[in-house]
Amino acid sequence: MEISSNIVLGILAVLLIAFVYYLFTNRSKEPEGKEAANSATRQMQLAAYERLILLVDRISLPNLISRLNQPGATAKEMQHLLVQSIKQEYEYNISQQIYVSADAWGAIKNLKEQNILVINQFANTLPPQATGLDLNKFLLEYLMNDKKGALHEVVSEVLSYEAKKLL
């Protein structure tokens, strides 16, 4: 009887040692797992900021105009082309908002809305027979003369600042 109780005590001791060992090894692994998850999250956030900086560059009015210029297009056709391009670029990148701050996404959204508003307002002030070249010229003159027209630069700086905070 004494031998069987010694065996039971021995088994319990081994189980207790195994349990303590298990607790210590799992606790030491938890921070590594959290650190790896944080690193992966940070990489996704940085990638999102990179994509959004590219978006800002692609929907900035000077780049849109140079990329989409259509000789022979009417002002209305050019207006439609510019607005559609902004909307498509924005929709393509809309999922990036889950990785960036609300302020950063708000800046992107404001840039999109401001650019569409400016394009529509300028297009509506032109005479019906105006060409796409007239609209593009009008928009570029506005950008050169009005500091508010360079909102894309401010948004790029905001995104860069936030991305650098992650590094």
Q: Where are the domains of the chain?
A: 44-166
Per-residue pLDDT tens digits for 18-46: 666 666 676 655 555 566 668 889 999 99
Average model confidence (pLDDT) across the chain: 87
Per-residue pLDDT tens digits for 95-134: 999 999 999 999 999 999 999 999 999 999 999 999 999 9
52 closest CA partner among 122, 107, 113, 117: 107
φ/ψ of 54, rounded to 5, equals: -65, -40
Contact 56, 159 (CB under 8 A): yes
What band does 59 get if pLDDT is binned at 50, 70 and 90? very high
Please tell me the number of Cα atoms within 13 Å of 142 on its side-chain side: 18
**Whole-angstrom distance, CA of residue 43 vs CA of residue 81:** 34
